[in-house]
Structure 1
Amino acid sequence: MIAYDPPNEPYSFPSKKNRTGIFKDIFKKLEPLTGDQYIFNNYPFARAIKLFDAGKVDIEPGINPAWRQHTFEKGIYSIVFERSIEVVVFVPGKKIKVRGPDDLAGKAVGMVRGYSYPRFDKAFHSGEIKRMDNLSETLLLEQLLAKRVNQVFVNLRTIQYEMQSRPEFRQFEVGDVVSAVDVMMRFHPSKEKALHRLNKGLKN
């Protein structure tokens, strides 16, 4: 099972912090319901995708199918268990209204490498908006703190957690929602039977 390295808190935490994170908590509760054991391994994003494509890892938690439409192995998906809301976050004094790509034209926007924002992807590909990739949402907020970019796309739950945990992040201005989609557990097709068990567990 995939846990990203570096992690995105509070969904997963570095092992040195001795915390499980939202995803590990969910699967811990699912184990007695499904009879399966779920083992997390930490991988950088690009390697995790390649391992999933090769069938060497079985589950990627918290995914919307649109985010993996360009991968070799599309995977099969569980029932919806959560809604992922992504927002644009600004350095102080730089907040603007973001209704769509035109509002960010000519600007650089930080986001996690490999993350997809369908409403904005055309503008990224054309260069209308400059995409600045980083390895995790926490690192994006560090960039924002250093004013290397004026705005980043991050998960709403993540920015709320980080602002609560780190006082220096409380100066940031949270703007509009840029994406709101249902998320599921992405399974390798070879584990279809385990997916059926997990779906029953999620319903409980």
Structure 2
Amino acid sequence: MAAKNTQRNNNEITLLAVSKTKPSEDIIAAYEHGQREFGESYVQEAVDKIAQLHAYSDIIWHFIGPIQSNKSALVASNFDWVQSVDRLKIAKRLDSQRPEVMPPLNVLIQVNISAEEAKSGCHPDEIAELAQFIEQCTHLTLRGLMAIPAKTAVTQVQVQYFEQLQTCFDKLKTQYPHIDTLSMGMSNDVEAAISAGSTMVRIGTDIFGTRT
């Protein structure tokens, strides 16, 4: 519906079902309705689910939470995507810890687009340096940008944040034409994100219900 309201094609937008804190049974239920891409934020919880659901080999697992150095090896060896790379140290660890037998890890640079002190993400001015490093990594593939802007119910402000990230993405794409993913928008701001050009929305509550 959000795509239709903004006159965009559904095929341009990937739905990432954010399944953090939800049991494997909920993921299976979504899978049986055709969902294939799932996002997790807590490393050990996610690794346990991935092991439980190993028979569902076409699930694509995204890590979308902050990455602690002592958990980076688990992230590197279990996920298909990491959307929360925001500093060189983590990019280096993921590259060195990605198993040789696995394909390169798809990476999004997380940007702190609303400049919140307590929020993860690099400053927009740091994107270029981080992207340059990731492009040189053997076991990482740069796919685009991700952001979690400050919460607000004011649609105009939501759109403003997302358009700022879109500008960053367009600038990065001039140097790396292969990047294709702009991950922005959640249950409370999905329409604003899609109107601003999001290619991937991260939806939890509207799929699985409120977290306890």
Structure 1 and Structure 2 fold alike (TM over 0.5): no
> Which has the larger Rg?
1
Q: Which has the higher strand share?
A: 1
Q: Highest relative contact order (Cα 8 Å, sep 6+), 1 or 2?
A: 1
When normalised by structure 2's length, the TM-score is 0.29
**With structure 1 as the length reference, what TM-score do the two structures score?**
0.29
